[in-house]
Amino acid sequence: MRAFDISIKVGNGYTSKQSKSNASVGSDVLERIIDTYPELNPLWLITGKGDMTINIKNSKEPLPDYGKSIDEILENKIKRIVQEQLKDFSNKLESFPTLDQISKEIQKNLRGK
């Protein structure tokens, strides 16, 4: 852990102390980790979800713009989630009948009785 502490420019034993006391790290330290290890997935680092690393060399797609600060990373993640939800909602709305279709169906059912 000492080498890791040195690489992210924190005091000797910082990560060990944080780990042993189950304490959180500051956003400034998270930013240093992301800057030092660009292949590390920031979302995994913050939430523990998803893949730990981003395969930078083999990826043909540009890397997502995670942002430079923790606030930007979280804001961009929220934006992506909202966009996905809106897209899903829009797709579901396409299968809903229109008011005109509902009206025609009601009229048809009334005539059939």
76 and 65 Cβ atoms separated by less than 8 Å: yes
| pLDDT over threshold 60, residue 2 | yes
The pLDDT tens digits of the residues spanning 20-31 come to: 898 888 888 888
Angstrom distance (rounded) from CA 90 to CA 18:
44
Evaluate if residue 7 carries a pLDDT over 80.
Answer: yes
Residue 87 one-letter amino acid? K
Q: What percent of the chain has pLDDT over 70?
A: 88
Task: Judge whether residue 112 has pLDDT over 60.
Answer: yes
pLDDT band at 60 (very low <50, low <70, confident <90, very high): low
If you search the block for the tokens 């790290």, which residue do you land on? 25
Return the pLDDT at 58: 55
Q: pLDDT tens across 71-88, in order?
A: 777 788 788 888 989 998
Interatomic CA distance for residues 113 and 104, integer angstroms: 15
